[in-house]
A and B are shown apart, each in its own frame.
Chain A
């Protein structure tokens, strides 16, 4: 036991001998978590898509359109000048620009000449969502007038008007009625969030926090391979094994040391998430601990297996970072898995990062407990068993 602790301590001193290690251990993960979470707003912030609106009409009708957009659950209108909108759009700082041209009023609505313009960045999902929201708002604003027009037309078919004055009066009466009906329209859609027994508040930053935690922990654990390659190349491993230290002691000490450091790193990042980002990591500490340990073991196992095959520390370093980044990307750590095509969502289940991410999201987003993350933990332990076996059996000491 003393030897294992000595190896752990030795590796820790070597790893943290320079300031640069702190960069990758805690500073960069926090920066990335913060910045990527900054791309996804917090629970209390407005999550709607920003829509630039240019109101050149300045009429009651245009004000009503802007008001309807303000009440939309999809877009957040921001009224700007034409020049400002053009500049932001050309610099691709805005997905879409909605222009209400001069002359848009009730009269143009009645005579069917009312038109508005939407400029969209091509193939932009936000722009497509903005288009739908604008169409909904336009329908709501114009529906009362449309209903009144229809009422006039239908009445004319069965009971023609005696004069234009009567027709106008009928239109006004119908318009008033339609607006009353519109105001009295009840809420017909109720949204209920699932599987959250004590109503966990959804926070999109949780995705960023969990994803960056996995990314920045898996990469150094894959880097166990570099540790092995370095000790082989410098001859220190050979010298160590000429002492009374068994091979199993060396392996256990090296691997458990890196796993312990990874757990410390994960706890620091979870702490940052709780204290600074106000995320809900602490609901079930036991379940969280299980997920973190299983994730660390799976990553360490892969790093150990890699260490059995790589020849140089340069090779190991490059492979660790490359594989770590690719697995993080494909595992849903950078972009939510729900955005992936269905075939890819199935394929990426071969990656440990996918299971680690799902387990953490079950805890922080779905309010799950120990029982809910057992399948993910089991799969991660399976990865650990397989890759540790490969790593230990194929390990080269010279």
Chain B
């Protein structure tokens, strides 16, 4: 056993002395995590990924009650972080700003919008309640579809509330017995009397209560970096495990492996030591990245004991893949290239770049072969307040993955002449 540990520690030292390897193992995932932090606004105080300060141009040609109200909606306090409204004087000027990619959308409120919604005296008097439709135009920037979609959602919600108010008001007025015979003055007077104490809530609140629950009363504020940082760490872990495996072939070519094998060291000790070296290097890599992100980015990872065990399971699963690659490879260059390819493919299949929720079903199914998907699942569970007891499924999957791949690799090594004296 002592020889096994010595070989493993030797490989660990070699890995951490290789500057080019350190760049991939530590610097690249750290910088990418840093970049993701900037991109998601995590470092500028935003705790949610998403949009902010969406530039929107408003043209109010209506200049009446509802047009002014819509302008006020965009300037309201509760939307101040989400949108950055600007008022333009003309439709042409607003459209030009969109064409020049200066804003996400232009909201053009046409003249007559208020009149088309609030019934006039004549309409009431005649009992005719068919308004002439006047449409608000949303001129969208095709290069900013998400932002434009948010602007549309805000306008849709405003129009929806206005329509409900209109329908509520008209229902109340038109149902009054004898309304058809009243004069416009009498109708207007009655309207004022009826709605003297009314407010918007009488018309626009849903009669159905929507109860929301962010995963329970003790919902933990989820840090998106707690998803992205392990995603990057796990992706570059795949490089580390293939790097470790490559060292086995490199030693064969350089002649140090044959020399080791003529010593009183059994092949299983050499292979075991190599595997231990891969495991220790991978564990150190992920642990350092977790500590660094906790220290520099204040990422809250969750239950420490769960983290320790999860890292071990993830590295065990990933090491299996690294060893399989080495068993199948014929040269260090081949293993290196395939290792990089595996790193990237497992990264995307495992949900590092895009959440698996947004992927097609067949991708979600294939992702089960990657240690990345299971590892990310575990780290997310911990970040959401889970503990070791909640990690049964991912840890089991990673252990089974690692054990199966180790067994397969040992079989392939046994048939090849890599470990023969």
Contacts and interface: CB of A to CB of B under 8 A. Distances in A.
Interface of A: 18, 20-21, 23-24, 28, 31-32, 35-36, 38-40, 65, 73-74, 91-95, 104, 109, 112, 114-123, 125-126, 128-129, 131-132, 134-136, 138-151, 154-155, 157-159, 170, 173-174, 177-178, 181-182, 184-196, 200, 202, 204, 312, 314-315, 317-319, 321-322, 325-326, 329-330, 334-336, 338-344, 361-362, 365-366
B209 interface: yes
10 closest Cβ contacts across the A-B interface?
A: A20-B337, A314-B20, A186-B133, A318-B23, A142-B207, A147-B168, A39-B354, A115-B209, A151-B172, A341-B41
A194 B222 CA distance: 37
Interface residues of B, number: 116
Interface stretch (B7-15, B211-219, B244-252, B296-304): B211-219
A148 to B, nearest CB: 7
B358 interface: yes
Given A190-B137, A330-B38, A181 B129 contact: yes
B204 interface: yes
A38 B359 contact: yes
B20 A317 contact: yes
Contacts of A117: 210-213
A312 B23 CA distance: 13
Nearest to B239: A321
12 contacts: A20-B337, A35-B363, A36-B353, A120-B212, A122-B214, A146-B168, A178-B168, A181-B129, A190-B138, A194-B98, A321-B24, A344-B39
Among the interface residues B18, B160, B360, which one has the most CB atoms of the partner chain A within 10 A?
Answer: B160
Interface stretch (B265-273, B341-349, B400-408): B341-349
B72 interface: no
Given A40-B358, A189-B135, 10 more contacts: A95-B357, A123-B221, A131-B212, A132-B153, A154-B172, A158-B193, A186-B131, A192-B140, A330-B35, A330-B38
Interface in B175-231: 175-177, 190, 193-195, 198, 202-215, 219-222, 224
Contacts of B157: 132, 136
Contact of B32 (A131, A140, A312, A329): A329
A233 to B, nearest CB: 13
Nearest to A99: B211
B143 A319 contact: no
Nearest to A20: B337
B221 to A, nearest CB: 7
A87 to B, nearest CB: 12
Contacts of A325: 28, 32
A344 to B, nearest CB: 5
Nearest to B211: A117
A317 B20 CA distance: 8
